[in-house]
Structure 1
Amino acid sequence: MLTGKQKRFLRSKAHHLNPIFQVGKGGVNENMVKQIAEALEVRELIKVSVLQNCDQDRDEVAEVLSSGTNAELVQVIGNTIVLYKESKENKQLELPR
């Protein structure tokens, strides 16, 4: 579980990132969860955009993605979800205590 200080740090790091996944009309499926998990292993911190034609609520999408990938939900702002998962192989971010 992330502390408030760690979430603030991750939000500041995510500010300059562009969303690399989009959730559209089909919603979240197994393949998307798998691809996002792989992207988290490489990048640790990613943004996911929820398109307006998505059938699911953005909070519901965020919950499904974070539980499916075992990642921490950092923030849901507008239609953008920020996810963080510490990488096993290539660790890049050092979280504050």
Structure 2
Amino acid sequence: MDFQITDEQRMIYEYGKSLVKKFDRKYWVEKARQHAFPAEMYQQAADDGFVGLMVAEEYGGAGLGMLEMALLQEGLSNEGIPLLSLIVGATMSMG
């Protein structure tokens, strides 16, 4: 059994790492102080097509699976970014 990730999966992981460089701890601390939703980061992830990662293509998502979601979360976790509910929420609400 081959456990190597594909180029697409590596890109998803790297995207998570790059997103947290743009929206770093300073951004999250400021949002926490303001008691504000991280709209800019969420919008960036949506614009880049990562909010609907596990949503079926027929509903406008990427149609990918849990492994790809886990790779995105791993990339995001490099800075401890709590984006899980924002990205997974869209999928989980669909049943």
TM range (shorter): 0.3 to 0.5
Structure 1 length-normalised TM? 0.36
Judging by fraction of residues, say which structure has more strand.
1
Structure 2 length-normalised TM? 0.37
Judging by fraction of residues, say which structure has more helix.
2
